[in-house]
Chains A and B, each alone.
Chain A
């Protein structure tokens, strides 16, 4: 495993943040933060596929001790609203309803950071729903806060290149949820087109910009159609990037729309997947 450290400091370039926040605010006027590219004016209250306006809302936060080793303990800040519609989403309705939660402000974040530090948090992790659809709002609150923890961006990686550029040198570690190994499963289960093309493009971009961890939640019955193509791609394109596989799938939300997703993993599916990952010789992170 490649050790990850934060020797570059809390944020690589915190002086960038106010500029980026201003730029991000402009992007809300014609939103193309994710690849749905709805083009709506979120400042004016228009809503696109994700349903979010210009206010990011926090529906949960806590300090988590079960993240990948380099990240934990991590203060997780969950924002409501998402650009995907994964029927198995463990977060259920708050993930998809951007009206849920309390408005994210600099004062709120300051208090949460204080509490998180008391709990021993070593990183501040933005999570969703999908934080990328709220990137400008997050930059705005970061601009109004004292940077006290390295920033982790846990994302579905369905954002546009302009959004990644906005976050460049602000985010310390990207955690990418690589969910599907093919477009058919992505469209059927998450309602999004061109999934593989977009996510793989963004993964290569993120790997070139800084630290990246790729995570995959193994879905029942999706070892060959999803896990294997993901491993093959990583082996060919990003073989040294830390890879984390999750085998704790539980049927939640609208998983019953898909017969294969109505059950937890069979007892042998997890070990077989772990063996497959090992066979590919990737840089596994626990």
Chain B
């Protein structure tokens, strides 16, 4: 079962995975539009990923991975 660590950085979470969470992975497909299919994850991992928002993932209706990334932050220096 996935253990989600209490430590968070902004909105990112850290999950500690056990063998049974990922040991069943049998297939990974990355489509040209960035969708990512991972077959064989445990239900707990799927729930964790679902709760975190769009991640590519199993669903065609989900946004492609690159669309879910943050826009680059502009940080100027006052010189």
Which residues on A are within 8 Å of B, measured CB to CB?
A: 35-40, 46, 48-49, 51, 85, 187-188, 191-194, 254, 257
B 33-55 to A, binary, CB cutoff 8 A, 1 in contact else 0: 10001011001001000000000
Which residues in B have some Cβ–Cβ distance to A below 8 Å? 24, 26-27, 29, 31-33, 37, 39-40, 43, 46, 58-61
Please determine whether A40 and B60 come into contact, CB atoms closer than 8 angstroms. no
Which residues of chain B are near A85, meaning CB under 8 Å?
26-27, 39
Can you pick out 25 interface pairs between chain A and chain B where the beta carbons lie within 8 Å of each other? A36-B60, A38-B31, A38-B32, A39-B31, A39-B32, A39-B33, A40-B32, A48-B29, A49-B29, A49-B37, A85-B26, A85-B39, A187-B46, A187-B58, A188-B43, A191-B58, A192-B58, A193-B58, A193-B60, A193-B61, A194-B59, A194-B60, A194-B61, A254-B26, A257-B24
Determine the chain A residues whose CB is within 8 A of the CB of B46 once the complex forms: 187
Q: How far is the CB of A39 from chain B (nearest CB, A)?
A: 6
CB distance from A72 to the nearest CB of B (A): 34
- Is the Cβ of B59 less than 8 Å from the Cβ of A40? no
Extra pairs beyond A38-B31, A46-B32, A188-B43 (19, CB < 8 Å): A38-B32, A39-B31, A39-B32, A40-B32, A48-B29, A48-B31, A49-B29, A49-B31, A51-B29, A85-B26, A85-B39, A187-B46, A187-B58, A191-B37, A192-B58, A193-B58, A193-B61, A194-B61, A257-B24
Q: Which residue of A lies closest to B59 (CB)?
A: A193
Q: Is the CB of B31 within 8 A of A40?
A: yes
Bound: A198/B5 CA distance, A = 37
Q: In the complex, are the beta carbons of B43 and A37 less than 8 A apart?
A: no
Across the interface, which residues of A come within 8 angstroms of B32, CB to CB? Answer: 38-40, 46
